Amino acid sequence: MTNSKFYSWNCIIFSAIPVTKYQVALVTSDFLHDPQPWNNTWITDGLFWSTYDEPIGRADHTAELRGMLLENQLERLDRQACVERYIDTDIRHKDVVIVASNISMDQGLSLVPSNKNSSLIYMHGTFTTRSKWMWTSAWMCSSWHSGNITVGMGQPWCSSNLLLPHADDWLLKSWRQDNNGAVLREVLLSVDYCLSAGAEQIPQGCAIRYSSILILIVTLIIVGGLIIVLVKALTALVGYEQSVDFKSLWQMGLGHVQAYAISLTETWGNMGENAFYATAFLANGCQIILSSGWYFANSLLSRMLLARQWSQFITQRKNLRVSEPTGDQRSSYTLSLPYRYSIPLLIASAMAHWLMSQSLFVVQTLGFMYQPTHKTDDGFVRIPDLDGSVLGFSAIGMILTIITLGILLIALLALSMRKLPCRKTDDAEVSEVIRMPVSAACSAAISSACHPSAGEKEAELLPLQWGKDETGVWGFTSRTPLGYSLRG
């Protein structure tokens, strides 16, 4: 759906959107004077641009549609109104008849093999498989396609921006080809007006679903490269002649299901019902990288701050920080980091995970088809075979994720460049500085630096500083004064 707002979190909870298959009939300008019934045994259901010599499929309710047409039960729309209605994939559409202004029956241009003078020029469904729902409205731009070209990258995306400027001279193209794909005959139809069976907004058609299996295995998902995915996403948009400037990408939105922003649709179609798990694994592939990145960033920052706090004992007297404080001792950090570091890190991590979940996400569809022969309130019948899962993407989401991770990386690099605390030596003629012995988290190095001065008891309960006592021994002590001479 081009405008449906859609949020997921790690694909454990996700939304399902309704998609509708309907029939499109192209007819001559004098269709009312055709005494013969329409032959639908040759129709290639779902291919809006061509048919073959041998029958491949047929429309499901050709006779019923023609009956509604002849009995004046369809709503007449001018070209612009027809484009505006059927280009909107957020609406559940019913069948539509496209009336030509430049073709009559006596011209013999019908693609019906048994009757070239039929008023039915061509008829097709909008899509056939669960992975092709995003091309529901692609038939409206068939004049942009050439023979032997399938729908997909390599031609402009059929959008209102592309089609509405051409509403007054709207053209549709179909052709007949043999079983080897060679084009035998092409028909270019100039649209006069449309006759529509209607369209409905059905908000209750959406659903929220969850997968208990994914709750258990979401942290065990295959890994993808975010930069590579972004490049491929932008390449796909360029292939559909969509603008990739920042403003256009921003208008695509985060987590919005855009029909032209769907990847690997042929792959998903071949997977059938298993496509959901494949799309979920791919959508979550980067999440484990982010989780690992957060772990390493937290570990790196913890080590840097540990080294800094350790080094500060040479410049200031401080209380020890321990798990179970006694006396003047301080407690340890709840998140292993000072709050001024841990809170921004948690926010950055949550933001990156959320942005990633809106950059690659599962789009699951609920298939419907307009069937006036069924006794339902609105004529729409559920077609489970059209249910499917594909992988949607948001290029702006990927860019914002990269920016967030870039800021985090730059912040870590900036913090790593800070020099550790030090102090000048007491020797006036020596310009060197004194720093704490480097220990990192090595318990042996820490232990060697922590021997108390002789006769000092319970020093660990008092504010301490590292220096040289009156006996010339370097270590932690609560006594004053302390010396910092490099001489013996």
Question: Residues 52-73: what's their mean pLDDT?
Answer: 72
Question: Residues 334-356: what's their mean pLDDT?
Answer: 82
Asked whether the beta carbons of 408 and 297 are under 8 A apart, the reply is yes
Residues 6+ away with beta carbon under 8 Å from 449: 436, 437, 439, 466, 474, 475, 476
Radius of gyration of the chain (CA): 35
Question: From the CB of residue 267, how many other CB atoms can be counted at a distance below 10 Å?
Answer: 15
Nearest Cα to 130, choosing from 369, 347, 305? Answer: 369
pLDDT in tens, 237-247: 777 677 777 77
pLDDT band at 55 (very low <50, low <70, confident <90, very high): low
Cα–Cα distance between 46 and 124 in angstroms, integer? 6
Output the average pLDDT for the chain.
Answer: 75
- What is the reported pLDDT for 164? 86
Look at the block and give the residue holding tokens 């490269």.
225
pLDDT band at 60 (very low <50, low <70, confident <90, very high): low
Quote the DSSP letter at residue 106. Answer: G
Identify each DSSP E strand in 289-356 by its residue range: 321-322, 330-331
pLDDT greater at residue 149 or residue 201: 201
SS3 412: helix
pLDDT greater at residue 94 or residue 377: 94
Question: Residues 432-455: what's their mean pLDDT?
Answer: 73
Cα–Cα distance between 68 and 373 in angstroms, integer? 11
Question: Residues 309-332: what's their mean pLDDT?
Answer: 80
Quote the DSSP letter at residue 87. Answer: T
- What is the reported pLDDT for 195? 92
pLDDT band at 286 (very low <50, low <70, confident <90, very high): confident
Cα–Cα distance between 77 and 170 in angstroms, integer? 13
Lowest mean pLDDT across 12-21, 34-43, 312-321:
12-21
Domain borders along the chain are 1-15+204-421, 23-196, 423-477
SS3 157: coil
pLDDT band at 1 (very low <50, low <70, confident <90, very high): very low
* CA atoms 109, 114, 120, 122: torsion sign: negative
Residue 209 pLDDT > 60, yes or no? no
Cα–Cα distance between 76 and 191 in angstroms, integer? 13
> What stretches of 312-364 show up as alpha helix (H) in DSSP?
339-359
Nearest Cα to 286, choosing from 72, 11, 6? Answer: 11
Question: Residues 285-307: what's their mean pLDDT?
Answer: 78
Residue 343 pLDDT > 70, yes or no? yes
SS3 9: strand
Residue 68 pLDDT > 80, yes or no? yes
Quote the DSSP letter at residue 462. Answer: S
**Antiparallel, parallel or unpaired: β 360-370 and 321-322:** unpaired
Asked whether the beta carbons of 174 and 48 are under 8 A apart, the reply is yes
pLDDT in tens, 324-337: 778 777 777 666 77
pLDDT greater at residue 146 or residue 68: 68
Question: Residues 381-398: what's their mean pLDDT?
Answer: 78
Query: Which residue type sits at 147?
Result: G
Look at the block and give the residue holding tokens 């695509």.
252
SS3 94: coil
Nearest Cα to 22, choosing from 266, 279, 309, 369? Answer: 369
Residue 70 pLDDT > 80, yes or no? yes
pLDDT in tens, 475-487: 788 877 787 776 6
Question: Residues 408-433: what's their mean pLDDT?
Answer: 78
Residue 353 pLDDT > 90, yes or no? no
Residue 435 pLDDT > 70, yes or no? yes
- What is the reported pLDDT for 212? 47
Lowest mean pLDDT across 73-77, 125-129, 311-315:
125-129
Share of residues in the chain with pLDDT > 70 (%)? 74
Quick one: which H or E segment has residue 310?
helix 285-311
Backbone angles phi, psi at 28, to 5 degrees: -75, 165
- What is the reported pLDDT for 76? 92
- What is the reported pLDDT for 267? 58
